[in-house]
Structure 1
Amino acid sequence: MYHTFIRSILLCIATLSVPFAMAEGTVARALFASEVLDREPIDELGDVIKVEYGEIQRVYFFTDLRDMEGGQVTHVWKLDGVIEAEIPFDIGGDRWRVWSSKRLMPGFDGKWSVDIVKDGEVLESRSFDYVDEW
């Protein structure tokens, strides 16, 4: 009886600790910005970005990663669900900030999204609408 009780407790502890052991790092921040300076975004763009005629707009996707040293993440940029670019990053420290960007022109309007992918799994996803009001 005593051994069965001990085994049950050990099994419960092992079962509860598995999800924590499998979790490898977190995405502390993920946002769209108009520029990144000194490894920090200078602003945060909203959910809607308007087309500026005669201009090429650059939108940055910034991520602050924690506890993923030695791994790799990929920014997967999509327009209306179709992959437009995949940018991989090697993670060199416990806190690692990375960003990628996309040049947006008139005619690129639609729903843009970026997935943060690690080991084939989407960790986070963010999106914005690129709107042409003409």
Structure 2
Amino acid sequence: MKKLLSVLFALLVVAMAVPLWAGSLSITELAVTTKVSKGKPIDAVHRISHHTVKTLYCFTRTVSDDSGETSIKHVWLRGGQVVKETTLPIKGKRWRTYSSLPVDASTVGNWRVEVRDAAGVLIKTVEFRIQ
């Protein structure tokens, strides 16, 4: 009986740990861009000089089976080290959002932006270089 109660308790703990929003979220577009205009990135940066722009944006377009609210996180990494994290709300089946990074001489290097879901699971990444 104790074993059965232990198993039931463990199942209850696991069930409570599952997020309430369980729809499948996918990314249909991910780009580092110099500007977002009319809800779209104007370009896709793979390599750029820090003299050219003052800010870069990571644009993300999502599609979901569920219209409920959730969030994603943009994790900006330079040389594998986390520099910035931004949590962004997702409020519908089709959603667009972006985060930004100020650019100057101190930001030169190889960069990656990881997009993570509300549970912290890596969904997609994009890499670029600031010269």
Name the TM-score, length of structure 2 as normaliser. Answer: 0.75
Residues in 2 aligned to 1:83 and 1:115: alpha-carbon distance in whole angstroms: 10
Q: How many residues align?
A: 107
Q: Give the Å deviation of 1:57.
A: 2.0
Residues in 2 aligned to 1:56 and 1:106: alpha-carbon distance in whole angstroms: 11
Residues in 1 aligned to 2:107 and 2:28: alpha-carbon distance in whole angstroms: 29
Does residue 1:66 correspond to 2:66, yes or no? no
Identity across aligned pairs (percent)? Answer: 23
- Quote the residue 1:39 is aligned against: 39
Residues in 2 aligned to 1:100 and 1:123: alpha-carbon distance in whole angstroms: 16
Residues in 2 aligned to 1:62 and 1:37: alpha-carbon distance in whole angstroms: 11
Contact 2:34/2:53 (<8 A) preserved = no
Q: Give the Å deviation of 1:84.
A: 0.9
Residues in 2 aligned to 1:38 and 1:56: alpha-carbon distance in whole angstroms: 19
Residues in 2 aligned to 1:31 and 1:126: alpha-carbon distance in whole angstroms: 7
Q: Which amino acid aligns with 1:89?
A: L
Residues in 1 aligned to 2:54 and 2:123: alpha-carbon distance in whole angstroms: 27
Residues in 1 aligned to 2:50 and 2:88: alpha-carbon distance in whole angstroms: 29
Computing the radius of gyration over CA atoms, which structure comes out larger, 1 or 2? Answer: 1
The one-character-per-residue Cα deviations of 1:9-47 (angstroms, maximum 9, x if unpaired) are: xxxxxxxxxxxxx871210000011101121111222x2
Structure 2 CA distance for partners of 1:51 and 1:90, relative to 1, 3 Å: closer
Q: Give the Å deviation of 1:51.
A: 2.6
- Quote the residue 1:18 is aligned against: none
Residues in 1 aligned to 2:90 and 2:101: alpha-carbon distance in whole angstroms: 21
- Indicate the SS of the match to 1:107: helix
Q: Give the Å deviation of 1:85.
A: 0.9
- Quote the residue 1:78 is aligned against: 77
Where structure 1 has 5 or more consecutive residues not aligned to the other structure, the ranges are 1-21
Residues in 1 aligned to 2:90 and 2:106: alpha-carbon distance in whole angstroms: 34
Q: Which amino acid aligns with 1:122?
A: L
Q: Give the Å deviation of 1:56.
A: 5.4
Name the TM-score, length of structure 1 as normaliser. Answer: 0.73
